[in-house]
Amino acid sequence: MKRRVYSRSVTVLVVLAMAAGILASVANSADAAKVNNDIGLGSAAALNQPNCDKTTGRWKIQFYATGPCVRPFAKGENNGGATAQGVTKDSVMIVALIPPAAGDLSAQNGGIKNQATGANGRSENALYDDEALLSHFYNTWGRTFKYEFVTSTGSDEASQRADAIAVLAKKPFGVIDLASLAPAGLNGGGQFFDTAIAQAKVPANPIPLTIAQTYQPYEAITAEFVAKNASTGNAIYAGDALKSTKRKIGVIYPEGSLGVDPNDLLKPLAKAGVKVDAANVLAFTVPTDSTQLLTQVQSQAPTIIAKLKDAGVTTIVHLGIGVNQTTPFPAAATANDYFPEWVEAGNGYIDLDFFARNFDTKQWSHAFGPVWFTPSVNGGVPDTNTAWFQWYWGKTQGTHSPGVLALIRRIYDGVALAGPTLTTASYNAGLQKFPPVGGAYSGMITNLEASFITPALTQRIGTAIGWWNPNVSGNSNQVPITGQGKYMYLDGGKRYAIGKYPKNVKLFDPTNSIAFLDALPASDVVGPYTCDKCPSTGGGEQPSSSAS
C-alpha cells in the first residue's frame, strides 16, 4: 500500500472512550505558563476569523466538541523551530502502532470502514482520512503532521514491549496505539505497550494511564449509583428466588497489573454508609497474553459465582473489563441456578448493546447501572465523530475509524492550544485549556462529556442510567450494528455528572425509559455549518485509499 505523508496542520480532542485514557499532567507549570500565554483564546483576532463561531468560541465544524478558536499564526512568525523531540519548525512526527493487515481486515477490526466499498478498511487509510478533516481547519502554528508506522508483532507482553522499543527508537513527539482498538485485543498493542510509551515520557501520548486509573472514574460513579439505588431494600430486580430478599452486595473484579482497584468502588461506598463484606469482594486473575483471557476467566468464574451464591449475595457489582472478562460470569450463574441483580459499571464497553448481546440473557435481563454510551437516534443523525467525518468526506468515500479519530483529536488539540512554542510543558498546559463540553455539562443526550481537565478526571465524566431489555431489537447504541437486546435509557437518556445521580430511580419500566430517540434533541444540534472546500462540497481532496 502506498503511504502518503500529508502536509497539514491539525488539532483535535479526545472523548474517552474506549478505553482509554485521557490524562496528561502538567509538568513544570511555571515554564508552561511562560510558553503558553500567546494563543489568543477569546481575543478578537481569534473570534473574528471566518471559521470561528463567535457565540461558542469554537471552530465552525459540525461536531459538538471541537476546540476553542486560537489566534491566526502570522506570516513570517517564529515558532521556535526544534522545540521538542520529534518537532521541527515545519513538522511534528507522530508514530502509529498498527495491526497486521489481517487484523485490520478481520471481523473485529474496531469499526474501520471504507465508505466507498462498505468493506473493512486499513488503519493507515483511516489515520490519513480522519486527519484530513482535522487539518482542513486548525492552526498548528506553521507545523504539519508527518506519520510513521510500526506494525505490531503480537499482543503478548514480550511483543508489546518489543513494539514499544521499535516505536521509541523513532523519537516521535506523539504516539498512538491503533493496534489495540479492535475489541478482541488480538492485533497487538495494549497496556504493556502503552505503559512503556508513558514511562518513556513521550510528550504526546494519548493513553498514559494504567488500567486502574482509566476505570477509576467509572467505579466512583458506580459507587454513587449503587449507594443511591441498589444498596437498601429488597433485591427487586433479581430473579424470583431473590427479589424478596434484603440486598447484600458482592463485587467481582480483575486483579493484577491489568486489573482494577476495588477500593475505587469500596471507599466511596463506605463513605456513603454502604458496607460490603470483604469475603464477598472476589478477584479473578487476568493473563498478560490476551489470547488466553477467555479460557482463564471461564475456569475461575464457577468458583467465584458459587461463593457469592453461598454467601447470599443478591446484587453483584461487576468490574470486569470487556466481553471476555464478563461473559463467563453470567453463564456460570445460570449453570448454578442463581439469578442475582447485576450492576454493570460500563468497564471495557460492556454498556454497548452489541457487546452485551453476548451475555446470558437470563442473567442480563436483571442488569442495570450507569451507561456511558449514548442512545441511537431513529429520526436523526447523532453528532458523533462519524457524522463529522461524513460532513467532511460525504458518505461514499474515505476510510474512517471512530477510535482512530478519537486518539488523534487529543494530540492535535493539545498542539493547537500549546501555542507556537511546542514543548511537553506547553502541550500539557494546552490540554488544560480545553473546556468541558457535552453530556451533563451541556445538557446534551447524544453527545458524550469531553474535556482534558486534570487531575480531577472523575469530575469530567457522566453517564445515563440504563437497564437491559432482551425483548427489543435494532441498532446498537453508538454503533450501527443490528441485533436483539438493547439497553433502555431512563428519562430519555438524561446524563448525570458525579454527585448528581438521582435516588431510588424506577428501573425495568418501559413507560419511563427509551431504547431509541425518535429524533436528535434540540439541545444536541450543532450548527449547521457549511464545510467550505471539502470533498463533500466539491473540494478536490482524494481519500488515501484511492492511492493504495
- pLDDT tens digits for 412-458? 899 999 999 999 889 988 888 888 889 998 999 998 888 664 444 44
pLDDT exceeds 60 at position 207: no
Residue 131 sits in the same domain as residue 254: no
Task: Determine which helix (DSSP H) or strand (DSSP E) holds 544, and give its type and residue range.
Answer: none
74 exposed, middle or buried (CB, 10 Å; 0-12, 13-18, 19+)?
Answer: exposed
Task: Quote the CA–CA distance of 250 and 292 in Å, as a whole number.
Answer: 26
Mean pLDDT of the region 207-224: 83
Residue 325 sits in the same domain as residue 201: no
Q: Which residues make Cβ contacts (< 8 Å) with residue 518, sequence separation at least 6?
A: 377, 378, 379
CA distances (Å), origin 51, targets 25, 54, 174, 509, 526 = 30, 9, 27, 46, 14
Query: What integer pLDDT is reported at residue 32 of this predicted model?
Result: 35
Mean pLDDT of the region 225-245: 98
Query: What integer pLDDT is reported at residue 208 of this predicted model?
Result: 54
> What is the chain's alpha carbon radius of gyration, rounded to the nearest angstrom?
23
Within a domain: 164: yes
Residue 312 sits in the same domain as residue 407: no
Residue 250 sits in the same domain as residue 143: no
Query: What integer pLDDT is reported at residue 443 of this predicted model?
Result: 93
Query: What integer pLDDT is reported at residue 24 of this predicted model?
Result: 29
Query: What integer pLDDT is reported at residue 416 of this predicted model?
Result: 94
CB < 8 Å & 24+ apart, contacts of 112-115:
112/399, 112/400, 112/401, 112/404, 113/399, 113/400, 113/401, 114/398, 114/399, 114/545, 115/390, 115/393, 115/394, 115/395, 115/396, 115/397, 115/398, 115/399, 115/400
- Residue for grid cell 513521550: 202
- Residue range of the domain that includes 325: 212-376+459-524
pLDDT exceeds 50 at position 20: no
Is pLDDT larger for residue 12 or for residue 373? Answer: 373
Within a domain: 443: no
Residue 188 sits in the same domain as residue 288: no
- Residue for grid cell 507482553: 157
Using DSSP, state whether 292 is helix, strand or coil: helix
Within a domain: 8: no
Residue 366 sits in the same domain as residue 391: no
Residue 364 sits in the same domain as residue 490: yes
Mean pLDDT of the region 157-164: 93
Query: What integer pLDDT is reported at residue 433 of this predicted model?
Result: 87
Task: Quote the CA–CA distance of 37 and 60 in Å, as a whole number.
Answer: 24
Within a domain: 440: no
Within a domain: 114: yes
Within a domain: 23: no
Residue 290 sits in the same domain as residue 390: no
Mean pLDDT of the region 487-499: 95
Residue 351 sits in the same domain as residue 469: yes
Task: Quote the CA–CA distance of 120 and 545 in Å, as a whole number.
Answer: 12
Query: What integer pLDDT is reported at residue 185 of this predicted model?
Result: 55
Residue 387 sits in the same domain as residue 341: no
φ/ψ of residue 292, rounded to 5: -100, 0
Residue 162 sits in the same domain as residue 42: yes
Whichever domain contains 276, its CATH number is 3.40.50.2300
Query: What integer pLDDT is reported at residue 339 of this predicted model?
Result: 98
Within a domain: 37: yes
354 exposed, middle or buried (CB, 10 Å; 0-12, 13-18, 19+)?
Answer: buried
Residue 53 sits in the same domain as residue 81: yes
Within a domain: 533: no
Domain count, the chain: 2
- Residue at 372: amino acid letter: W
Mean pLDDT of the region 272-292: 93
Kindly report the CA angle at 285 between 188 and 456, in degrees rounded to 5? Answer: 75
- Alpha-carbon torsion (355, 357, 362, 365), positive or negative: positive
Whichever domain contains 189, its CATH number is 3.40.50
Query: What integer pLDDT is reported at residue 184 of this predicted model?
Result: 53
Instruction: Give tens-digit pLDDT for 299-335.
Output: 999 999 999 999 999 999 999 999 999 999 999 999 9
Q: Which segments of 363-461 are extended strands (E)?
A: 367-371, 376-377, 399-400
Mean pLDDT of the region 264-272: 97
pTM score of the predicted model: 0.78
